[in-house]
Amino acid sequence: MGIARRSLLIGALALMVAVPVFSGVASAGANDPLFINLTTDESHRATMAIGFGGNQLKLGHPLSIFLNDRAVVIASTANAGTFAEQQAALKALVEKGANVIVCPMCMKHYGVAEADLLPGLKVGNPELTGGLLFQDNGKTLSW
């Protein structure tokens, strides 16, 4: 067998192995959980993340949103004037069964008090956050 033919055969075999392996990477089951890692307090990006999550929740995907780094300021009722739209969306998601978790270290860093969190939001801990992040068939996105 010639070198060109052997290279073609090896390439075809590699493709036959790779296609099934990588084609499943982007697929999602009808009820796969979604974990969104939101790190920004930039209103457009936060609205995009929260809205995307809400749409997936409507489609049957259990939703968890992890507010960390600058995003923790969105969770505080003290910032209601700045983040009214995002807070209303988070409240609606919680009412529909979504989990919204707030990073405790980031809360401390940015001066967000637990007493100021929107109703239904939970302060994260390794068990809670990890349990939602590492669900079977879970998918993650980050903003």
For the chain, the three-class secondary structure string (H helix, E strand, C coil) is CCHHHHHHHHHHHHHHHHHHHHHCCCCCCCCCCEEEEECCCCHHHHHHHHHHHHHHHHCCCCEEEEECHHHHHHHEHHHCCCCHHHHHHHHHHHHCCCEEEECHHHHHHHCCCHHHECCCCEECCHHHHHHHHCCCCCEEEEC
pTM of the model: 0.81
Tens-place pLDDT, residues 89-136 = 999 999 999 999 999 999 999 999 999 999 999 999 999 999 999 999
**pLDDT of 3 over the 90 cut:** no
Q: How confident is the model at residue 12 (pLDDT cuts 50, 70, 90)?
A: low
- Percent of the chain residues topping a pLDDT of 70: 80
